[in-house]
Amino acid sequence: MKAVHTELHRSHDPQFFLVRGVVKRTTEQPERADRLLKGLKDGKHQLVDPTTFGQGPRARIHSPEYLSFLSEAWDAWTALGDSGPEMIGNIHPVRHAATYPTHIVGRLGWHTADTAAPIGPGTWAAACAATDVAATAAQMVMDGEDAVYALCRPPGHHAYRDMAGGFCFLNNSAIAAAHLRQKHERVVILDVDVHHGNGTQGIFYARPDVYTVSIHADPVAYYPYVWGYAHERGEGPGLGTNLNIPLAIGTGDDGYIQAMDVARKAIESFAPGALVIALGLDASEHDPLKGLAVTTPGFRRIGQAIARMGLPTVFVQEGGYLSDILGANLTSVLAGFEEAR
């Protein structure tokens, strides 16, 4: 399996992470990509540079106001003269009967769901590069590759149409799915990150053409807390095309594979032409955020279960934070996919 990657991700190096009132160094660091690259090299995957697609793939998913905000944000922030080293909102308005703000501080609050997506001088460039990685992988699958892996950083599945959050700015998995829609009438996004893919769900919640499925730690006690419940099934034309499978905190390999079987049956009923895997590796028993307890052999089983769906597949990297096992877990899931294909 080929893998798309760019070093441009390094321009995004966030520092701030607020955890239960304590400021810590974020776990979404450039070193993540280094460890993932080692996993790709250990699996002997061929690395491919991304194509530059420009704004088109991003504009299929994100609002014009949001893209303008992200592209202008750092210059407007530094022009204030008394701003900090990263952009972190101090307001997050509930949008009922609200007016879209023009001041950069107001726009920052409007377009961020939480404090976990600090914007720095290189964030926009890195986020755009990640969308090019995702769109390139999707294009390669459209052009005949059976499956392609996209090493996207920063990740994307918590990003809504017009809102960043949870380390995410542009929704790479959604962009890959929209790109695949140019060829396929129906596409599925299966999110196997330990966190619910709330941004992806929100983007497609009223659409019947993209089925969103997320297997994740139960949001009763885990981020994002207010999305990701089993009763969230879509709305309007999209009613029935969203499936959430929340798992008890600490669920291990067997419980996860049972959830994969539920997801597979639902996906088969939808009869898609292509599959996007929002590949979080943070369900690992060794992940620092400690939601689920999947082992490295368990990730191999996840890869095998994905392969048995028999669909053209784009793997888009989401979470999976700094641990010694991160690269090995990537090697394992891709190897499982290849051996069961």
> Can you tell me the distance from the alpha carbon of 257 to that of 336, in angstroms, rounded to the nearest whole number?
13
Query: Of 158, 184, 196, 286, which one is the catalytic site residue?
Result: 158
Contacts of 184 (CB under 8 A, 6+ apart): 272, 273, 274
200 is written with which tokens?
Answer: 């992806």
> Can you tell me the distance from the alpha carbon of 57 to that of 140, in angstroms, rounded to the nearest whole number?
15
β-strand pairing of 22-25 with 16-19: antiparallel
Contact 288, 323 (CB under 8 A): yes
Report which of 238, 236, 218 is spatially closest to residue 228, judged by C-alpha positions.
218
> Can you tell me the distance from the alpha carbon of 112 to that of 338, in angstroms, rounded to the nearest whole number?
38
Q: How many CA atoms lie within 13 A of 49 on its CB side?
A: 4
Please indicate whether residue 216 is annotated as part of the active site. no
Contacts of 116 (CB under 8 A, 6+ apart): 17, 18, 26, 165, 166, 167
Residue positions annotated with a catalytic role: 158
